[in-house]
Each structure stands twice: as structure tokens, then as C-alpha cells.
Structure 1
Amino acid sequence: MRFRIVLFDLDGTLIDSGPIILASMQHAVRTVLDRDVGYEELAATVGGQGLVAQMEELGPGRVDELVEVYREHNDPLHETLEAFDGMMDVLPQLRSEGRRLGIVTAKRHRTVALAFARFPWLSEQFEVVVGHDDTERHKPDPEPVLAALARLGAAPEDAAYVGDSPFDIQAGKSAGAFAVAVGWGGIHSDETLLAQEPDAFVRSPEELLDVL
């Protein structure tokens, strides 16, 4: 066992939420700002500072409206979410080996709860969930990762952080954890992730077992 603590991002890492995030962002911008924004431009903001900061980039001065329309569109779509193939097996395997698992996400806890309602088995795998509500600074700042480690009473050198965005890699490395990039999120390209020089890059959930 290399790492007794394994922390995960949520969107694009455990659940295939990229399509509904991008669709809801596109809907909000079209509805509030009356303009179309391509997925590539939207994807560049996903996974970091959170929804409010994302909307600030897209429509300064209209953030409250954008967030409201986004949530009205996005919340019901959680009923269509799917978990990534393999994660249902990998997470219990890690726990059976004595690992302690946590989630570090840019989502607020109310939105995490929607994902857990869709996948009750998922919430049972984790000892700690750090969301946007829990820290003053957010990914790529290391504070959320360090907050999760503090709750677990663990040191960064004993931990890996697994995520699908450049912000995850930056946060993990800055925290002193082993940063693992995953290539199945569907939002950020392999090139974008590899440019951040993660400690490991995997293309399937099963490969995680080899690097952790």
C-alpha cells in the first residue's frame, strides 16, 4: 500500500457529470446573456473555484441570475447521472485494503447531496467530504485538500488526490499529496492534464489500483 489516504474529486472523476455541467452552463449563458458559448470555452473553467467564480468570468454583473438559471436547469439533471464504469468496484477494493477515502470537490454540499441521492452506495465509501462551503480558498489552492487531510488526521505525504482537471492536479501537488490525473472525465484533454505534470496519469479506474 503506497497511500493509506486517497482523496477524490467528484465531477468527472467519480460521476460522469461533465455533460450536464456544460449543458447547464451553456443554457444559463444563452438565457441570461443571450449569447452562445462553446463547450471548449466553458470547459476551461470547470473544476476550479466553483460555480459563482465560473459565472463571474462569463457574465460579470449578472452572476446571481446566471447561477439561478444554471441551478434550475442543472438540479433535475442529476437524476440522469451515471457513475463511471469501474468506480463501483475500485472504491470498495481500496477500502478493503484499509485505505481511508474522502472527497474534495468544488460543489457545495447541497449539490453533492443530489449526487449521493442518485448513488446511495457512493456516500457510503467516504469518511469525509470537503465542499465549496468548507473553505475560504478553493482549487487550485491547496486549502480544500489540506482541510480533508486535517479531518482525517493525515499528512500530505501519506495521501493521493485523484482528479480530472488541471485545478485538481495543482491543488494536490501544492498540498504535498501524490497527484493523480484521470483521463476519463471528458471535460479536459489529456494534453491539458499532462501539461500540469501530475505524479501519475491513468486512463481507467482499474489503473488506479496500480498507482495507489
Structure 2
Amino acid sequence: MLTAALFDFDGTLVDTTEMIFQSMRHATTSVLGRDDIPREELLANVGQPLPRQMEILDAEKAELLLESYRAHHEENHDDLIREFPGIAESLQRLRDAGVKVAVVTSKRRRSVEMALEALPSLDLVVDRFVTLEDTTEHKPNPEPLLRGLELVGDVPKENAVYVGDSPFDVQAARAAGLRSVAVSWGAFSEDTLRQAEPDHLVPDIDSAVDVLLGGEL
């Protein structure tokens, strides 16, 4: 019986893909002098902590990249963030069915707070949040997901699921011993997600909740 649903944040509950891309483009152009890095490469590691993404781009200039990204992100956040339709209503369906809902993200708490200020309906339908500062290890390590289960009442792994839009979300769920639902409306293609071998791959939030509540897991 499903009693807890853990969700990724960026690309899963909030539409931040364009915001992330533009901030990445700004950072790599201003710091590295490169505007030729393909969109797919700039978004390839979304789902991991931002400092790690910058290290992958350029280990020696990771701090400068991070500073440039965050400056652009904060300045343009409210103009670029978007709401996926039906998210709050679908999460409420889960809560009405007695399922606890938590967010487990690699995002900083301040960035999550900015998103909730822009899209306040989400804060009303999420029970707990696990952010970058709450764990020592980060996705695809299982520690953040296990922390999420603790926060919603030490829910057994067999009664929980993780929903996310990146291969790192699927890997983290597997490492934590949770079932995984990959969603294809975020930063990654269906083919990329399918290669990660999630338990389910769904095209929209209604389908995700139908899977969670329909006993298909």
C-alpha cells in the first residue's frame, strides 16, 4: 500500500528547465567565453547539485561558474519560472487518498523558497521538503530519499515511491530501495529516461497519480 510519495522539484513539480538553461548559458558564456555548448550538454546533469554540475563543466572555474549562474538565476527567476498545469490539484488527490507528499531535491533551500513565493499553491500540498542543505550526500546517492522517508514518519521503503524527471532520480530511487516513476515533461527525453529503467514512465501528472493510486507499482 502506498503511503508516501516523494517528488523531485525542478522539472517535475515546477517548470524551471528554460530558467536553468538560460542561467547555464549565461554562466558558460560570461565565465568560459563559450556560447557553443549544446543545450543537451548544459542540461545533461540537471538533478545533481549545482556545484557538481559546474565541476563537470569546468573543474578549475566551477566556483566562478556557480556565482555567475546564481546571479543570473536570482535576477531572472520570477520572469522565467513556470507552473506545470494541474500539479497542485494532482498532489491534493494523493493527500486526499492518505498519501504523504514530500519534495526531495538537490536545490538549495533558498531557491526552493523563491519558487514557492512565485508559485505558492505548491506549499499547500507538500508535507515536507528535503533540500541540498539537509544531507551530506546527494542524488544519485540514496541519502536524501531516505531522509525524506524519515521526515514523513519513517515510512517503510516498500510503501513509498520517488517521482522525478532525470536519470539521477531513477538511480537514487533504486539505490534507496524505492520504486521509481520517471516523468517525461522535464529536462530529459523519454529515450534517456527509458535507458535508466524506471519502474514506470509517464507523460503527464494525471498519469503519474493514476499509477501511484491505481495499484500498478
Partner in structure 1 of residue 132 of structure 2:
132
Partner in structure 2 of residue 166 of structure 1:
167
Secondary structure of 1:61's aligned partner: helix
Partner in structure 1 of residue 75 of structure 2:
76
Q: Which amino acid aligns with 1:35?
A: R
RMSD in angstroms over aligned alpha carbons? 1.0
Deviation of residue 168 (structure 1)? 0.4
Partner in structure 2 of residue 117 of structure 1:
117
Partner in structure 1 of residue 103 of structure 2:
103
Partner in structure 1 of residue 192 of structure 2:
192
Q: Deviations over 1:134-174 (max 9, x none)?
A: 11111111110001101222111110110000000110111
CA distance, structure 2, for counterparts of residue 5 and residue 88 of structure 1: 16
Partner in structure 2 of residue 142 of structure 1:
142
CA distance, structure 2, for counterparts of residue 76 and residue 124 of structure 1: 26
Deviation of residue 88 (structure 1)? 2.2
Q: Which amino acid aligns with 1:41?
A: E
Secondary structure of 2:180's aligned partner: strand
CA distance, structure 2, for counterparts of residue 51 and residue 28 of structure 1: 12
CA distance, structure 2, for counterparts of residue 170 and residue 30 of structure 1: 31
CA distance, structure 2, for counterparts of residue 170 and residue 77 of structure 1: 31
Deviation of residue 180 (structure 1)? 0.3
Deviation of residue 76 (structure 1)? 2.8
Counterparts of 1:8-47 in structure 2, within 5 Å, are 8-36=7-35, 37-47=37-47
Q: Which amino acid aligns with 1:3?
A: L
Deviation of residue 68 (structure 1)? 1.0
Question: Unmatched 5+ residue regions in structure 2?
Answer: 213-217
Question: Unmatched 5+ residue regions in structure 1?
Answer: none
Deviation of residue 10 (structure 1)? 0.3
CA distance, structure 1, for counterparts of residue 208 and residue 176 of structure 2: 20
Q: Deviations over 1:59-86 (max 9, x none)?
A: 2221221111111101133213111112
CA distance, structure 2, for counterparts of residue 87 and residue 139 of structure 1: 23
Q: Which amino acid aligns with 1:167?
A: F
CA distance, structure 1, for counterparts of residue 76 and residue 180 of structure 2: 30
* Structure 1 range deviating more: 173-182 or 73-82: 73-82
Partner in structure 2 of residue 207 of structure 1:
207
Secondary structure of 1:179's aligned partner: strand
CA distance, structure 2, for counterparts of residue 210 and residue 201 of structure 1: 12
The size of the alignment, in residue pairs, is 209
CA distance, structure 2, for counterparts of residue 105 and residue 77 of structure 1: 21
Deviation of residue 128 (structure 1)? 1.3
CA distance, structure 1, for counterparts of residue 210 and residue 133 of structure 2: 33
Q: Which amino acid aligns with 1:183?
A: S
CA distance, structure 2, for counterparts of residue 142 and residue 45 of structure 1: 17
Q: Following TM superposition, where does structure 1 have runs of at least 4 consecutive aligned residues deviating by more than 2 angstroms?
A: none
* Structure 1 range deviating more: 111-120 or 79-88: 79-88
Secondary structure of 1:85's aligned partner: coil
8 Å contact 2:4–2:99 — kept in the other structure? yes
CA distance, structure 2, for counterparts of residue 68 and residue 174 of structure 1: 31
CA distance, structure 2, for counterparts of residue 35 and residue 129 of structure 1: 35
